Amino acid sequence: MTQTINEKTNKFFQDAFRDWSGEDVATIRAMPAHGSDRRYYRVFGETRTAIAAMNHDRQENEAFLSFSKHFRAEGMPVPEIYGEDLELGAYLEEDLGDDTLFSKLTELRKDDGFSEDVVDLYEKTIDLLPRFQVVAGKGIDYSKCYPRSSFDRRSMLWDLNYFKYYFLKLSDVPFNEHDLEEDFHSFIEFLLETDTEHFLYRDFQSRNVMIRDGEPYFIDYQGGRKGALQYDVASLLYDAKANIPQEIRARLLERYLESLERIQPIDRRSFLDYYHGYVLIRIMQALGAYGYRGYYQRKDHFLASIPFAVKNLARLLENASLPVKIPALEGVWRKLVETHEKKTAEEKRRRLTVSIVSFSYRRGVPEDPGGNGGGFVFDCRAVRNPGRIEKFMDLAGVDQPVIEFLDDEEGARKFAEAAFALVDQSVENYVNRRFTNLMVCFGCTGGQHRSVYFAERLAARLRKNADVRVELTHRERSRW
């Protein structure tokens, strides 16, 4: 049993699980924490599982539970609520598994890029969005919304100031506070000109879409409220870490518009004018969150999303224009893009350079070109020497017959496994600490076969790491 669950809450989970499943609880396991203060646990019975949630924010719980019951009644794919206790800040809900749209995207993209399988999942997801916004949204009890019943002027100003104080200031992007504040209000006036009477999911992004049996299910809509249709589709398509290719974005936006038009007529030109504005306010809200979690709370994984969000901002500035004059805000956007482009260029120049050298011990160990005097020197002479076999004498470690010979040698495989594991550990550490140089040397008798083979293999391995620049030198090449 997880110690953070107190006795009363534990009893509630035990009773709610038994009432729902007819089984006793066998164990409860904590699930990985994410960005919020909510805590989730997987509850195991003999054959069934459920998700136990703990959250001390009562109003947030009331919003989530109210919306969940409403959406279930409307036939929407959201988790069923099995039990709740608002006094304890606890509820038991349906287990939708561990696969999110983002995790499926990451898994599939690793092998096939942004494949049709990925697009298919996005299309299924985006087809359901208008039903949330327009159809299921009609009967929602908006009095349960938290912290606001609509994405109104005050909500927008909160987001814009969140961006200003937790991102701009912490990123050292200069701005005129008075002029920027004036443009905030002009921008908000523009955004509120469109229809804002639909359900706004608020955090409609790939991590909040579960995939079970190939179909999407939806979670984390407790921040929902009334708002514009454009906001949620902007949130999904400009989800920073998802990094959706622009041509796929255009295709998915068209899919959304077609799905929406099956429900109600829209003026596409007007929709798209406001759409770009809502993309921009969503990007600013996201940057504020990344700044708060990353710069302020020192959670580095949030900082990894910033380059993707800035890339999206840069693309919008190049390809979209707004029918509203906001020169100070546009100036901040451009300075932000310029600042991060310079920073990216500097970081590329400061990437870890791994100098890999093959050499002959007859001519001594190479000197470290980085001047650090460290790194690794691996003695390959313990591995069987193909240079002693006549058919390999005039070849080197870059030639296929020698490569195949050493690939089949168990001693070579064990040597590579051990040596590369040590190098991998240092590379990871050096990248995180922003070191700029690491030297790795492989020596053998003549610097022609074994040392060259291992140097080539390590170079190929490290070139797959975007944070590493590889410099490969075969010092004795002129003697082959």
The per-residue pLDDT for range 188-214, each reduced to its tens digit, is 999 999 999 999 999 999 999 999 999
Spatial neighbors of 188 by CB under 8 A, at least 6 apart, are: 153, 156, 157, 160
Residue in this structure with the two tokens 């919020």, named with its chain if needed: 36
Helix 450-462 to helix 400-407 angle (10° resolution) is 90
Instruction: Confirm if 30 and 18 have CB atoms less than 8 A apart.
Output: no
d(CA 135, CA 124): 17
Which residues in the chain are classed under CATH 3.30.200.20? 7-94
d(CA 283, CA 234): 9
List Cα–Cα distances, 339 to 171, 284, 306, 335, 366, in angstroms: 9, 16, 12, 6, 40
List Cα–Cα distances, 46 to 10, 16, 79, 349, in angstroms: 18, 15, 21, 56
User: Hey, what CATH topology would domain 101-348 get?
Assistant: Aminoglycoside 3'-phosphotransferase; Chain: A, domain 2 (3.90.1200)
Q: Comparing C-alpha atoms, which of 2, 50, 53, 1 is closest to residue 23?
A: 50
* pTM exceeds 0.75: no
Torsion of CA 397, 400, 401, 403, to 10 degrees: 50
Instruction: Confirm if 163 and 333 have CB atoms less than 8 A apart.
Output: no
What's the pLDDT at 401?
A: 95
Torsion of CA 159, 164, 167, 170, to 10 degrees: -150
DSSP class of 80: P
Instruction: Confirm if 223 and 292 have CB atoms less than 8 A apart.
Output: no
What's the pLDDT at 35?
A: 62
In terms of DSSP bridges, do strands 376-379 and 437-444 run parallel, antiparallel, or are they unpaired?
parallel
Longest dimension (CA), the chain: 86
Ranges in the chain, pLDDT < 50? 1-3
What's the pLDDT at 299?
A: 82
Tens digit of each residue's pLDDT (9 = 90 or more) over 96-117: 999 999 999 988 887 778 889 9
Which residues in the chain are classed under CATH 3.90.1200.10? 101-348
What's the pLDDT at 169?
A: 93
What's the pLDDT at 351?
A: 81
User: Hey, what CATH topology would domain 7-94 get?
Assistant: Phosphorylase Kinase; domain 1 (3.30.200)
What's the pLDDT at 241?
A: 87
What's the pLDDT at 371?
A: 64
What's the pLDDT at 349?
A: 66
What's the pLDDT at 36?
A: 73
- Neighbouring CB atoms inside 10 A of 100's CB total 20
